[in-house]
Structure 1
Amino acid sequence: MSGTLNGRAVVFKWITGEDAADHVRAQQEEAEALFPRMANGPFRVPEPLAFLSGEGLSVMAFAPGRRLSDLVRKAGAAERARLLVLAGGWHRCHTAERRRGAAFGVRYWLRQREVALPKFADGTDRKLARGIQQKLEALAPALRGVPITQARIHGDLTALNLLVDGDVICGVDLQSRAWWPLAKDAARFLVQLTATCPAADGPRLHGIAQADMEAFRASGVLEAEPAHLLPCFIGIELAARLQSPTLAAAPRARTQALARAYLS
């Protein structure tokens, strides 16, 4: 919710539920860690102004710009590529100073998806999820224990949570405290983008437009990661999206089409 505070344009966010205080503290921790180095330049986060964890309230300075999702829908090929280069650059900048090496526990991630399979109510979604699980199992031997990069990622990096104002891009809704594989946010971004703002016809890689993938990766954000890691997380994100009970009919149909392309 937008408003003003002491004459400044701000965004208020109220969080309810048992974990509200923890969410606000996480948002405060992230914002205060990131803002000193992402207050200026092309890759930014909003200025943190106030946090009241007991009330589930956070107040951030208003960030100018339009949602990346709205801009991408109307963009031609060249402008779409420019916007996705910006998005990949933001992901790299956001994680640049909070990274660490780790051995990839591929079985953990596959087990999460395997346990979820019985929860699929829709037959089409269940069939696609089983196909994705089989593909992930085929990828697993090449990924077991390989060195990867973990980072304090956004956690919900999508075109909805990136605001673009000219050549400046600002990430919002920051509240993740977790260390996760760097490729997880990249996969989430590309899956959500393709399911909601698909590119025009062209070559596809793992269901994602090759031009989109190349533009997002142009910053080098994933240059040190194993080749099969991003395809693995694309499958994981796809299966999780298919499982969502709140996904409306049209987005679900697009996600199903993306899953079929991933499996083809």
Structure 2
Amino acid sequence: MIRKEIKLILSTFNIRNTQDRYNERKEFLRKTIQGEQSDIMCLQEVSFLGDNQVDHLVEDDKNRSLYHQFHAESQLKFHIRPGADPESKLDGNTILANKDFFDQNLTILEDKKMHLSGFRVAHAIKFALNGDPSNYFWVVNTHLHHIVPDWQIRYHQLQNIHLWLYNITKFQSDNIFLCGDFNLTPKEEQNYKYLSEMGFKSTYQVIHGQEPVITFPTGLQAPNMDTDPEGCFDYIWFKGNQIKPQNIHIFGDKHLETDKTIYPSDHMGLCGEFMIKFD
């Protein structure tokens, strides 16, 4: 019998690359990522060139790699900069796919990338259920411009993502997840509304009736930490009549038991459960 539905656990998480006391938090970060048991996880602010940060994060205690890695490299890199954390190393974003889940259920039909700016990139993967090219969904991972007052730049980046997706997908009918750190809160009304006008729904809003109060900051303390105002910046958006959200929760919001200033990252993550029922 050909399967026509799949349960998907999908997460998004900005992991703050290798800065902000990374050596002190990396084991906590590894356990947090693996503890969600996501089928697919979208990561932002990742260091994967040279010493690949992700290799460690996806290894279990027996040094077995649990996830396939699909990287989206930015054109320019946030590496060592004057006045910044000397451990900072940011190469782009990564989509992880649980090996057991992926190998048993999915194949990749397309892998697309678009540069939004020198430092920002959008990454889209088209996954097919059991290799059937007629039963598929897209996962898109992105990280928008971060300067708080620059809402117009984020607006143009969203417009570019919209046009790009319109060209690479059957945008009106395809099942599409759009995940990431959007660096905008619901109070940035033009951009938040624009995502809805594109046809996307916020999973957290659908399930809980409102967005999280905050997804940044967590309470991670470091000399060069991000001190921007708090708010909800991270989302899992979806569109497509075949996607049915079941639940969503925040993770990464607990500090290390032995140190209240150490969190997995300066952002919290979101983990959603979905049913996708194909016609």
Same fold, TM exceeding 0.5? Answer: no
The structure with the largest strand share of the pair is 2
The structure with the largest helix share of the pair is 1
Give me the TM-score of the superposition, normalised by structure 2.
Answer: 0.30
Structure ID, larger Rg: 1
